[in-house]
Amino acid sequence: MWALVENNNVVKVFTRPTALTIGDNQYPSNIMSVWSSEELEAIGIYEVTIDDSNRKDERYYINGQESFTFADGVVTKSFSTAIAKEVDDVTDDEGNTTQGLKTTHKAIINAQAGSLLQGTDWYIIREADGGTAVPANISTWRASVRSKANEMCNTIDGVADVDALAALYEYDIETHTRPLGEFPKLGE
């Protein structure tokens, strides 16, 4: 990413190499990849440095507006303070409800459980239609999937804020586990 600086102000940002005209001079797009930083800076083009210190995980936060500044020969892209998304459902004065992250995450857990169970639904249908019993290991596994989904949803319900919710999904490097846990696998 590059920026055109004029009179110590960022006037244009280029997210990819772009042909441009500065004054009476036209430049091809490849100058941004072929020219040295000194050559580019001589015509007012600076590579952008990104300051992500205020940027947060977009699954849990609404990131603040980006801005570009030029100081001491460096163009910096930074973000204003991120705002945490609502973890609980919010109902406005007109009665409209916006789902919070808890509701969204629980829906994902339940959809995952449903998807896992779908592969063995035919056992249940076979039993209902013809009376052939569902194998014990299948029944046990299906019950454990439903139980784990309920446990995960209860854990999600128990978080107090966005950071606590995000922490449920953080994997421990050594154990390869996360606080939320995983669904049981058939045959284990």
Residue 3 reports pLDDT greater than 80: yes
Q: 116: how many CB neighbours lie within 10 A of its CB?
A: 19
CA distance 115 to 92: 33
Q: What are phi and psi of 27, to 5 degrees?
A: -125, 140
Residue 88 CB contacts under 8 Å (≥ 6 apart), including other chains: 100, 102
Higher pLDDT, 11 or 187: 11
Cβ pair 109, 154 in contact under 8 A: no
What residues does 13 pair with on adjacent strands? 3
pLDDT digits (tens, 9 = 90+) for 28-41: 999 998 999 999 99
Q: How far is CA 84 from CA 27, 66, 81, 116, 156, in A?
A: 43, 17, 10, 31, 16
- According to the model, what pLDDT value does residue 127 have? 94
Alpha carbons 154 and 102: distance in angstroms, whole number: 10
Average pLDDT over residues 3-17: 94
What are the tens digits of pLDDT across the range 80-139?
999 999 999 999 999 999 999 999 999 999 999 999 999 999 999 999 999 999 999 999
For residue range 149-168, what is the model confidence (pLDDT) as tens digits? 999 999 999 999 999 999 99
What mean pLDDT comes out for the span 16-37? Answer: 92
Determine the pLDDT at residue 188. Answer: 72
- Does residue 22 contact residue 43 with C-beta atoms inside 8 Å? yes
Q: Cα separation of 95 and 100, whole Å?
A: 15
**Mean residue pLDDT across the chain:** 95
Q: Is the pLDDT of residue 59 over 80?
A: yes
Name the residue among 39, 35, 43, 61 with its Cα closest to residue 4. Answer: 43
Q: Where are the alpha helices (DSSP H) in the chain?
A: 31-34, 37-42, 101-118, 121-130, 136-157, 162-167
